[in-house]
């Protein structure tokens, strides 16, 4: 075990960028919650990835995470934290690690994939194109509240977290195509048959003005 720790520490130490680290977007920084969550997400996107490829991304993310909390952390401390994170993920059964060619290949386990799905749900955002086309997407939720009150409440809470605009209690709007994300959410809450998504090209001028102000304030459109 001690020898394994030495090897992992050495790989991390040699992989961390020595110069200026690239910046993460404000949205990415806002979504970062834990170091282990960051590591799990990186492994999940790659499927199979070398530890030496994960380390630089981890270093950048940890740097931003500490910066958000108003704390400065030394390079050595970050190296230790990255190593400890992977020990934790391995001990928890979330990843598997295999030594090969002076590096560790990291795999997500079934348990890790399940945890990542939950993480993705918590940090979900709608992908934004380079330019807004001026159209709106409407989410209509005609949910029987007597039988599905919890699902209806959770959907409203999730849409509010994701900065959708509530034009009415059952009508929400967004400037970009949210179909993939909405489908994931409503299936998760088991209310998919009560929710529809459609593109809207024209709206009441006063409603549209309010929505533009809202989304500009949220820095979602310019």
Tell whether 130 is covered by a domain.
Answer: no
Shared domain check, 153 and 206: yes
Tell whether 70 is covered by a domain.
Answer: yes
Whether the per-residue pLDDT at 27 is higher than 80: the answer is: no
Domain boundary among 71, 89, 122: 122
The count of structural domains within the chain is 2
pTM score, whole prediction: 0.59
Shared domain check, 38 and 118: yes
List of residues 6+ apart from 13 with CB closer than 8 A:
79
Shared domain check, 55 and 11: yes
Whether the per-residue pLDDT at 1 is higher than 60: the answer is: no
Domain harbouring 176, CATH code: 3.30.70.240
pLDDT reported for residue 212:
95
List of residues 6+ apart from 69 with CB closer than 8 A:
none
In angstroms, the CA 88 to CA 82 distance is 10
Shared domain check, 6 and 107: yes
Shared domain check, 141 and 116: no
Domain boundary among 122, 144, 167: 122
Q: Which helix (H) or strand (E) holds 129?
A: none
Whether the per-residue pLDDT at 23 is higher than 50: the answer is: no
Tell whether 55 is covered by a domain.
Answer: yes
> How large is the average pLDDT for residues 99-111?
84
> Phi and psi for 170 in degrees, rounded to 5?
-110, 5
> 189 near 143, Cβ under 8 Å?
no
Among 31-45, 87-101, 143-157, the minimum mean pLDDT is found in: 31-45
Tell whether 84 is covered by a domain.
Answer: yes
Tell whether 46 is covered by a domain.
Answer: yes
In angstroms, the CA 151 to CA 188 distance is 9
pLDDT reported for residue 24:
43
More confident residue, 132 or 18: 132
Shared domain check, 66 and 144: no
Tell whether 193 is covered by a domain.
Answer: yes
Tell whether 107 is covered by a domain.
Answer: yes
pLDDT reported for residue 211:
95
pLDDT reported for residue 173:
97
% pLDDT > 90, the chain: 27
Structure tokens at 158: 């999730």
Q: What is the mean pLDDT of the chain?
A: 80
Shared domain check, 43 and 147: no
Shared domain check, 153 and 109: no
Tell whether 208 is covered by a domain.
Answer: yes
Shared domain check, 112 and 141: no
List of residues 6+ apart from 63 with CB closer than 8 A:
21, 73, 78
% pLDDT > 70, the chain: 80
pLDDT band at 77 (very low <50, low <70, confident <90, very high): confident
pLDDT band at 8 (very low <50, low <70, confident <90, very high): low
The domain in which residue 172 lies consists of 136-217
In angstroms, the CA 88 to CA 90 distance is 5
Domain harbouring 36, CATH code: 1.10.10.10
């Amino acid at each position: 075990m001690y020898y394994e720790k030495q090897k992992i520490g050495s790989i991390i130490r040699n992989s961390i960028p020595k110069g200026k680290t690239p910046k993460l977007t404000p949205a990415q920084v806002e979504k970062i919650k834990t170091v282990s969550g960051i590591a799990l997400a990186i492994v999940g996107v790659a499927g199979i990835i070398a530890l030496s490829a994960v380390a630089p991304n981890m270093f950048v993310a940890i740097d931003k995470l500490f910066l958000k909390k108003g704390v400065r952390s030394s390079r050595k401390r970050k190296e230790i934290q990255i190593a400890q994170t992977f020990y934790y993920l391995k001990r928890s059964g979330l990843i598997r690690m295999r030594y090969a060619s002076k590096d560790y290949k990291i795999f997500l386990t079934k348990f890790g994939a399940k945890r990542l799905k939950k993480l993705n749900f918590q940090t979900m955002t709608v992908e934004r194109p380079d330019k807004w086309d001026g159209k709106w997407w409407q989410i209509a939720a005609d949910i029987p509240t007597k039988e599905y009150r919890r699902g209806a409440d959770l959907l409203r809470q999730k849409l509010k977290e994701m900065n959708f605009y509530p034009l009415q209690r059952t009508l929400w709007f967004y400037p970009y195509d949210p179909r993939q994300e909405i489908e994931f959410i409503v299936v998760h809450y088991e209310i998919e048959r009560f929710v529809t998504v459609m593109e809207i090209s024209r709206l009441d001028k006063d409603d549209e003005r309010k929505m533009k102000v809202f989304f500009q304030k949220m820095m979602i459109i310019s």
